[in-house]
Structure formats: structure tokens, C-alpha cells
Structure 1
Amino acid sequence: MTQQEIIASLPSHLRTFVKVQDYNLYTPRDHAVWRFLLLSLAEHLTQHAHPVYLEGLRKTGISLDHIPSIDDMNQCLEKIGWQAVVVDGFIPPAIFMEFQARKILVIALDMRAVDHMLYTPAPDIVHESAGHAPFIVDVDYAEFLQRFGEIGMKALSTASDYAVYEAIRHLSIVKESTRSTEQDIADAEAALTAALESNAGEAPSEASLLSRLHWWTVEYGLVGELDNYKIYGAGLLSSLGEGVNCLDDSKVRKLPLTVDAINTPYDITREQPQLFVTKSCKHLTQVLEAFADGMAFRQGGAVSLRKAIACKTVSTAVYSSGLQVSGKWVRGLTDAMDNLIYIGTEGPTQLAWGNRELHGHGTDYHAAGFGSPVGNIKDLPRCLSDYTMDELKSAGICVGEPVVLDFVSGVHVEGVLDHVERRNHKNILMSFSNCRVTGPMKINGDLGDVLFDPSWGQYDMAVGDGIASVYGGTADKDRYRLYQQPPASETLRPTYSEQERALFSLYQSLREGRSEGAVDDAWLQNFHAQLAAYPSEWLLRFECLELAQSTAFKAQLVDELESLALQSDEHRKLIQTGFERIAL
């Protein structure tokens, strides 16, 4: 499938985040940066990465010589049941996870700048394609990655989680852009610090804890034994710096991976002081499932609803009947045994079944919120959802007539039953007019609190004897979108001077000469003379060194590169890495 065909096949709430790769926007220098990094990484990873890595590069359509085309990648990925789309940098974590659950790799569109080759603060196509894609050829790892997406998209998150995401995204854009000033960077760093401080003031959400597990496995994981391990984490695979430094056991502690890794926070701005080693890809899934067992979407009940209330964000509660209620939860009344007896939202709320919004029950209709009892009716041996319409009639519950429902909990519902909504042979929603709902009678004999008054209009009562699941986000994501627009900040695309464009022509000339086998020392000498206009240009000089035959010319290029290595620590590391690769 082409990019456009894949985009057309996506639900509309995901299409918002997908871009189209314009391959012509990558400059010849971008391709040279890719080539240098991938050749250097492949040299290192042949020894230190999980053996499937290099095989995976080939099978996922990733060349060491040039930036991959997403269309070419998709031709290869289709053979193993996956797809890829390109996006603009960081996207909301829940959206990222949903793509992953759909077996779609999310790949950042941009290529890191030549000045950020060792480390880029923003997601880029090196990290996303060469880091993440190769390992999905391993069936166990691919299943783990998809399962992580399925679980991750259900995690409960807080408003401050999203604020941290936006701050990280903005800082990554500002730091990667050549147009940013020192003040721009300082302001973005201050905004992130403020967001992190706010987030640190609350208990970590499920999404926050799961992001730690993602970091210590998918991004920075090792596989094998504590004293004999290989790299599989994408962050390590795509970093010339940390991918090497992490192997020093005296500086980076190695710990066995357990679910307790969620107790270890991470700092994206620094190299990690410890890493976790998994026994195998199957072990990864076991750890993930151990975490999921404690999540609200599996536990349900009062404990899970309280988590949702504490998060103060939109989430979905699922009744035992299958009815899904999506909104910001503010009420969860319980009995003495902590069983939920009445739950409620405030603000826009959606009712759905099977992830499809019920007709007439969207956020426009339930704009002020929704509330409903949970539990069984007195003297009815089964859950109200399990009765046929004839059985309801026999119990005195008839459409068009006054109905009184006394719940075991003491909640009382009295009104005219107008309609019963059924799905999959179950009653999921009952709608009443002229309805009054009250809570259990008080211990001092006072009547229960009024939970719904007839003057408030139509009353829609969810049906179910319990809350089976609570999860982050909405049920019908296309009809109730939490992310109406793409992130507030857009990546700042570089602009190039005439001198830089002339330099790109030199990169293209050398690239074409190398691929055509037309380069000899005479050609290189003439080419090298043109580099006098670019005294700080190290990468082209290194590419000349790769092709040079003359000992004297090689020595000249080495001298020039060693001088350029003094410009910065990054130059030194990159040039030294290049020397080691070509055995100088």
C-alpha cells in the first residue's frame, strides 16, 4: 500500500497526525549524515546488537546508504503484517500507542541535523526506522510491541502528563532548530521544568508508569544475561554515543528486568546510569502483562473508578452489560463493602457500545454530564441487563408505563420508561421521563440525596451490575476526539543559504561519482579543491578519505580532519568513530 492508501484506511482521529513523506525534501547532506551514522552503527552493532538487527534492516527495506522511502519500507513491512506512517516529531502517547496496537510503526519525518549526529533532542527517521523497525521481524518482539500498544492506549493519564508531553515536544523542536536563539531554548527548558515539577507533585499515573516500562524495554533495553547481553532498545541502537557507552559496566549498572522497573524514572536529557536486561522477548511480554494486571482496565470496580476520578481527565467506564460511558469522572458512590452503587461524570459525555457511539447519546446531548446506578434490583435474581423484554414485562417493567426500580444498594429510580436500548441480547440503557432518582436512605432516617430530578429532563439509566473496566480515553474516538488538532507546536523546517545549497551540490556530485565508480584520486583532488570554500566541512572530507588511494592524499585529509576534530567534543567523537570504521 502507498502512503495515501494507508492514510485513507485509518480512522479519522488518527489521520490528523499523519504526514506524507516528500522524499525530495531530504538534502544530499541529509543522505550523507544517514550513511555515516548507519555504516558506523552497523559496524558497532554487528558485535553488540541482538543478531536479528542486521537481518531486520534488510527485511524492512532499510539501506545503509540512503534515507529510507516509507513506500519502499511498506512494501517490505507488508510481508510481515506491519505498516509504517510518518509523523511530525512527538505525537500524544495514547495516539502513538494506538498506532502500535494497529501494527503501524510511527516514524518521525525529519532527518537529524549534521550538528546533532550523536544525539538529537527530537525524534528523527534514524531513530524511528533504523532503531524500531528491524526487530519486528522477530515474531515474539513484534507481538510484544503490538501488545504494548493495546495496553498502552488504555492507560489512565492526567492533565499534567499531557502538559509534560507538550513541553518535551516544544523543547525538542526548539533545540533541533537552527533558527532558535539561546533565549528560545532557555524558555522552553523552563517550561519543561515547570511541567515536570507539577507532574512530580502527584502520584504517577498508569500512563506515566507505563512510559517508564517502555523506556527501559523498547527504547533502552538489553537482552541476555547480566554479564552477557546484547542491545535491542531503539534508543541505544540509534545512538553512536550511548550505544557504545552503555557497554561499560563500571559506569552503567545492569539490572534484571522485572515489573519493578516502573519505579525507576528516567531523564531524557542525560545518558542512563542503569539499564535493565530481559531474558528474552517472551519475558518482555510477561513483564508487560504483570503490569497490566494492576491496571484499571483489567481490575474495574471502585478502585479503578477512583483512579479515573483522581486523573481528572476523560476516561471510559464499561458496565457489565457492555455499555461504555466516556467522560470526566467526578462521582463514585459506594456501599460499606466498597461496591459501586452510583457513578457520574461532569461535562461532555459519550455513551457507546462496541466502541460505537449510541445514536443520540453523544457529547452534544450529554453536554453537562451523566450519572447512573450500578448494581442489581431487589427481588430480581439476575442482572437487569440479562432479562428479555417479555421477562421485564412480567416483572412489571413495561415501556410506556410508570416503573419503580429499587436497587439492592438503596438507590431508588421512579419514572415513566420510554425506551430500552438493547445490544447483543442485553439491555444496556433505559430512558425515563418524569424521573426521580435518589440515593440510599441516611442512617438517621433522612431520605437519600436527590441524584436526578424530573425538572432536569430525560433520564438515561445505564444497566449493569458492576463496572467491568475503566480505561483512558474515549470509546468512539472518532465521535469524541480528545485531540482535536495536531500538537500546538510544529517542527521548524530549516532554511538554507545559497552557500549551503552549493555545498549540497558537492555532496550530490560525490555521491553520484561514488555510485557510478567514476572517482579516482585525480577526480578527488579537483573535488577537494572546492572544499576550500568550506573550511569547517568535515563530513565531505571524510567521504573523500573513504575513497582516496594515494597515501599522501590520505595523510593530508587525515591532518585536516584531526584539526577539525578539535572544534568540539562531538566533532572529535564522530571523526574518531569514522577513523575506527575505516581502520585508520
Structure 2
Amino acid sequence: MLKTDQTIEPTPPPGAAADWTIDQGWESYAPAEHATWDRLFARQTAMLPGRVVPAFLEGVALAGLDRPGIPDFGALSERLMKATGWQVLAVPGLVPEPVFFEHLAHRRFVAGNFIRRPDQLDYLQEPDIFHDVFGHVPLLAHPAFADYMQAYGEGGLRALEKGAIDRLARLYWYTVEFGLIRDGDDCRLYGAGIVSSYGESMFALDDPSPNRIGFDLRRVMRTRYRIDDYQQNYFVIDSFDDLLRQTIETDFAPLYQEIATQPDYEPGELAPGDVIITRGTQAYALAKD
């Protein structure tokens, strides 16, 4: 998920550098932890072909994630640097927003170095190394998406000055974490929160409950989201190139002012002007409520 926290102190914890990075400690992983990674990896890669955007699987191979065991961030960064200039750095957990955006703006992706317990395979509240690395890293090997992530970090630093982080966080949530992409008449997965989750990888494409809506920047930034369950709305981009173009060409300062006076949309709500790809029943959310 968005690896920031507005409530934590800006001083890094003991053992962390000034930029909040730490040593991954790869040699300290126990065999059982490597086995947990391998189990999660095998489960996801068995069901993602035909469901995830092809660039994701290409990135898995390019980054060397298909090798057994938890990836070593040093070797992983070497491969990414050659492809798109990105590197992966370990952090002790959630980091302050300025730190997160500064890293992204300089093509540094920060990732937690712990892995979930075997009894947490299907749900974990705080993102672990499997979510951060398996979910996010493959698309950092795709040039347009890699550029989008850097542009997002640069935009985050500007949004801090405008007091608009909540709006920009929604863009990250509905693209980087829970985005879908068009593939002809179909949709494919690309968001890290989906592709690292076995249940949501099926729900996002197959379940009749959620709305699937054509991506619109203003609409996304006015839409609340759920952090504790499957999404009720998914937004579908046309391509990574188009997502990058919209991000680079948009002047966000007047956009923030414009939407500040407009009401938010709730999760699952449809809005006038939505390009509805799939009108969901919302049965899943209604049953939970």
C-alpha cells in the first residue's frame, strides 16, 4: 500500500539512516521465511497468466524474481538499474510522506524487509516484502510505468506544499495499488495490491460486485477508498503511456483548487459522466455491511 504515515515522527528509528533506509539483512532470513515467499510466489504465478498485464510477467523474469527464495535487494537493484534506473531499498516500515516521495522522485522504491507469517497468507494489514517486491517491482522494469512512478514522487513533493496529499493518495491507490488496464475488450490486472493478493486477483476481474470504470483523473481524486477489504470501484486505464501522459501534462495546482470545492464520491458510488465498463451489483459489500 502507500508506504507513508502522516502520524509518525520525522526522526528515523534506531538503526535507520537519515533517509529511513536500513540493511535488508538478507542473510538473516530463516528457511521457513524463504519457503513462505516461494509458496506465495508459486500460488500467484500459477493464476496470474491471462489475468495480469503481460508487462508484469515480463518484469518478474527481468528482475529475477522467478528464482527461489526472498530476493536480495542488491542483486534486484542491479537488474532494475540496467533496465530503467530504479533501485529497491529496505525500510523498517511506514515512512513519513516527504521521505517516501523523495525516494520515488529519485527512482528509489522503498520496501519492507519482513515477510508475513504462514497464517497470514491471505491477508496482512501492513504491506510486507511480498506485497512490496512481488507486487510493485515487476512494473518498475516497464519504461512508461517507471517514469510514472518517478513523476508521482515529484508530484507528491509538490502536493505536500499544497496540502493536497489526500487527493494524490487516491491516485496512487486506484492506479499503483488497485488499477486495471484495458486489453482489447477485456481488462487485465496491474495494481500491486491486487496482483499480490490471491483473492482480489480473482475478485477484481471475475466477481459481479465491483464497478469497473474508465479512468478519469478528477473522478479518481474525488473518490474515497476502502483499506480493509476488496475495492468496490476499480478504475481502468487505457495504457501506461496514457497514464504517464495525463500525469505529466496536468497542472495539478488548479486541479486541487477545483476539486477542493466539490463533494467526494463514496466507495461503490457511480458518478455522472462515468464510462462504465461493468456496472457492479455491490453484493459483496452489501453482504458485509
Instruction: Confirm or deny a common fold (TM above 0.5).
Output: yes
The runs of at least 4 consecutive aligned structure 1 residues that moved more than 6 Å come to: none
Q: 2:231 aligns with which of 237, 256, 272?
A: 272
The equivalent residue for 1:247 is 205
Determine helix, strand or coil for the equivalent of 2:50: helix
Distance (whole Å) between structure 2 residues aligned to residue 16 and residue 104 of structure 1: 11
Answer whether contact 1:98 1:150 (CA < 8 A) is retained. yes
**Does 1:24 find its partner at 2:32?**
no
RMSD, matched Cα: 2.4
Instruction: Using CA pairs under 8 Å that are at least 6 residues apart, name the structure with larger relative contact order, 1 or 2.
Output: 2
Q: 1:99 aligns with which of 100, 103, 108?
A: 103
**Does 1:135 find its partner at 2:165?**
no
Alignment of 1:364-443 (within 5 A): none
Gaps spanning 5+ residues in structure 2: where? Answer: 1-15, 261-289
The one-letter code of the counterpart of 2:90 is V
Q: CA deviation at 1:14?
A: 7.1
Q: 1:156 aligns with which of 138, 153, 160?
A: 160
Count of residue pairs the alignment pairs up:
242
The equivalent residue for 1:114 is 118
Q: 1:43 aligns with which of 46, 57, 70?
A: 46
Determine helix, strand or coil for the equivalent of 2:119: helix
TM-score (norm 2): 0.77
Distance (whole Å) between structure 1 residues aligned to residue 223 and residue 161 of structure 2: 18
Distance (whole Å) between structure 2 residues aligned to residue 144 and residue 229 of structure 1: 20
Alignment of 1:300-315 (within 5 A): none
Distance (whole Å) between structure 2 residues aligned to residue 95 and residue 48 of structure 1: 34
The one-letter code of the counterpart of 1:269 is D
Answer whether contact 2:34 2:70 (CA < 8 A) is retained. yes
Answer whether contact 1:157 1:208 (CA < 8 A) is retained. no
Q: 1:54 to 1:112 in 2, by over 3 A?
A: same
Structure with larger Rg: 1
Answer whether contact 2:92 2:113 (CA < 8 A) is retained. yes
**Does 1:124 find its partner at 2:83?**
no
Q: CA deviation at 1:93?
A: 2.4
Answer whether contact 2:19 2:99 (CA < 8 A) is retained. no
The equivalent residue for 2:36 is 33
Answer whether contact 2:55 2:142 (CA < 8 A) is retained. yes
Alignment of 1:157-196 (within 5 A): none
Give the structure with the higher percent strand.
1
Q: 1:147 aligns with which of 143, 146, 151?
A: 151
Identity percentage over the alignment?
31
TM-score (norm 1): 0.39
Q: Deviations over 1:538-566 (max 9, x none)?
A: xxxxxxxxxxxxxxxxxxxxxxxxxxxxx
Q: Deviations over 1:378-411 (max 9, x none)?
A: xxxxxxxxxxxxxxxxxxxxxxxxxxxxxxxxxx
Q: CA deviation at 1:94?
A: 2.5
Determine helix, strand or coil for the equivalent of 1:295: helix
Q: CA deviation at 1:294?
A: 3.2
**Does 1:82 find its partner at 2:41?**
no
The one-letter code of the counterpart of 1:69 is D
The equivalent residue for 1:218 is 176
**Does 1:281 find its partner at 2:240?**
yes
Gaps spanning 5+ residues in structure 1: where? Answer: 1-12, 159-204, 308-584
The equivalent residue for 2:13 is none
